[in-house]
Amino acid sequence: MVNDFPTKLSRLKKPVWRVLKSYLPRRFPREHYEMVSDYPLRQGKYLRPGLLLLSTAMLGGSQEKAVLLAAAMQASEDWLLIHDDIEDHSEYRRSIASTPRPTLHKLHGEDLAINAGDALHIIMWRILGDAVEKIGGPQGWEVFRKMNDILLTTTEGQALELLWTQKDVVKVKRADYYRMISKKTAYYSIIGPLQLGAMVAGRGNRKTLEALERWGKPLGYAFQIRDDLINLTQSSRVMGKERGGDILEGKRTLMLIHLLEHCSKKESARIAAIYKKDRQDKTETEKNYVIRLMKHYGSLGNAADAIARNCRIARAEFDKFAAGLPDSEAKESLREAISFIENRVY
């Protein structure tokens, strides 16, 4: 059975993009605002705003009230990616077909890219302010505080990851890895959007938010592990960024953790030496050596098992949560989202 979630996500993207586009300035200096608009114009999958809108709809809320908030959510992804790409020394972002799209800082330099990211960050707060006004009253300010907490927590996860790199901590404990992706990915990409949607629908009580977290957290884990697995297994053309780029950037992934748990001491020492190098000093041969070892020791299969296990938990918790809700297209779509995240290849 074909999963229809990508099609539904594409439909949800259209009203969110119309709102976001209306907030992108077209004024002097022209070159600056072209940079500000670059990542928004490249348009990702819009998973986060899509989940927000679906959560709102499933819980009986108004899309009209939620769409501004969804646009703010998407703007946050776009400015965070500009800064993340600089911090991670990434070279490509949202490429299409056989046409590589260099990251903003590769096109214009780090100084201008940081400034463009700052501007988009400011625009995000403008959209969020208008969303708060649209939602109105104490409910609107609760949404504002939730968004603030989501973004602040995301920077904590990014800090943990960056500190491992700066301190040359190559062998990371599984518990620490899951703590990092809980902050950086699960809350920002899955739990937060679902909870924001519930709050717009007037269902921001503690019981509902905790129930959303119970299936959102394992789904967030699966999302990040799948993302890391795609980076190692898909071609650059399919995923829109360099294959194996996570190794070049020194990302501490579940596959790396598993590999270091199972490889020989000699191999472990060589892997550590590779990961401690700066990106520009790593070679294709070294990258392929790590990928080859991950395949040999079953690290890719172990990651696939972790994705499936977390999605089983997410699905069971979702079914428990959604059992008392009326049947709806939004409810069906959110269940499809679990399978999409589990099996996605891009």
- What does the pLDDT look like over 19-37, one tens digit per residue? 999 999 999 999 999 999 9
Rounded to whole angstroms, the Cα distance separating 53 from 67 reads 7
Q: Tell me what pLDDT residue 97 has.
A: 66
pLDDT surpassing 60 at residue 115: yes
Sign of torsion, CA 229 231 233 239? positive
| 92 strand-pairing partners | 102
Give the residue with greater pLDDT, 241 vs 317: 317
pLDDT surpassing 90 at residue 243: no
Q: Tell me what pLDDT residue 237 has.
A: 52
- Give me the percent of the chain exceeding a pLDDT of 70: 97
Q: Tell me what pLDDT residue 111 has.
A: 98
User: What pLDDT band is residue 239 in, cutting at 50, 70 and 90?
Assistant: very low
pLDDT surpassing 80 at residue 238: no
pLDDT surpassing 90 at residue 300: yes
User: What pLDDT band is residue 253 in, cutting at 50, 70 and 90?
Assistant: very high
Kindly report which listed range (88-92, 190-194, 297-301) carries the lowest average pLDDT score.
Answer: 88-92
pLDDT surpassing 70 at residue 1: no
Decide: pTM greater than 0.75. yes
pLDDT surpassing 60 at residue 236: no
Tokens representing 232 are 């190692």
| Residue 252 C-beta-side C-alpha neighbours within 13 Å | 29
Nearest CA to 336 out of 15, 54, 45 is that of 54
Mean pLDDT score, 263-281? 96
User: Can you identify the CATH homologous superfamily of domain 5-343?
Assistant: Farnesyl Diphosphate Synthase (1.10.600.10)
Concatenating the DSSP letter of every residue in 204-261 gives -SHHHHHHHHHHHHHHHHHHHHHHHHHHHHS-HHHHSS-TTHHHHTT---HHHHHHHH
Sign of torsion, CA 165 167 168 174? negative
Mean pLDDT score, 185-190? 98
User: What pLDDT band is residue 219 in, cutting at 50, 70 and 90?
Assistant: very high
Mean pLDDT score, 220-246? 82
Question: Roughly how many angstroms between the first and final C-alpha of the chain, as a whole number?
Answer: 19
Give the residue with greater pLDDT, 296 vs 3: 296
Q: What is the mean pLDDT of the chain?
A: 94
For 27-35, the CB contacts below 8 A with 24+ separation are 32/112, 32/115, 32/116, 32/119, 33/119, 35/104, 35/108, 35/112, 35/113, 35/115, 35/116
Kindly report which listed range (64-68, 161-165, 236-240, 307-311) carries the lowest average pLDDT score.
Answer: 236-240
